Amino acid sequence: MKLFSCLMALLLFLLQAVPGLGLPKDTLRCVGYHGFCFRSKSCPEPFAAFGTCSWRQKTCCIDTTSNFHTCQDEGGHCVPPEIKCLQEQVGLCPHREWKCCTEV
């Protein structure tokens, strides 16, 4: 039993020591898009909602004054990777592997 307690303590230490290892997927995605997690359902100005954080308990908000604008803000639409774009453009999509297209 003492060995089990030591192993659990070591596991908890590793989860805290390795950055990103203990974070939920939605939080990692938000941080990957340079977003911030807010407790409220709406984002304060100049932020815009861009998904969730902490297992859908918080709102992921991205700064609209930065270079990280959403695809819809740039006049495009997000499509899955299997769809071919006639013209791609810069813009964030809710799913990391999706592309921002002006024309499909």
Mean pLDDT estimate for the chain: 76
Are 49 and 73 in contact by the 8 Å Cβ rule? The answer is no
**For residue 59, what pLDDT is reported?**
92
pLDDT (tens digit per residue) in 1-13: 565 444 455 444 5
Domains of the chain: 24-68 (3.10.360), 69-103 (2.20.20)
Q: How far apart are CA 26 and CA 31, in angstroms?
A: 9
Q: What is the pTM of this model?
A: 0.49
Q: In this predicted model, what pLDDT tens digit does every residue of 55-73 receive, in sequence order?
A: 889 999 887 777 666 787 7
Rounded to whole angstroms, how far apart are CA atoms 84 and 94? Answer: 18
Residues 6+ apart with CB under 8 A from 74: 89, 90, 91, 100
Give tens-digit pLDDT for 22-47. 788 888 888 877 788 988 888 888 88
Cβ atoms of 69 and 86 closer than 8 Å: no
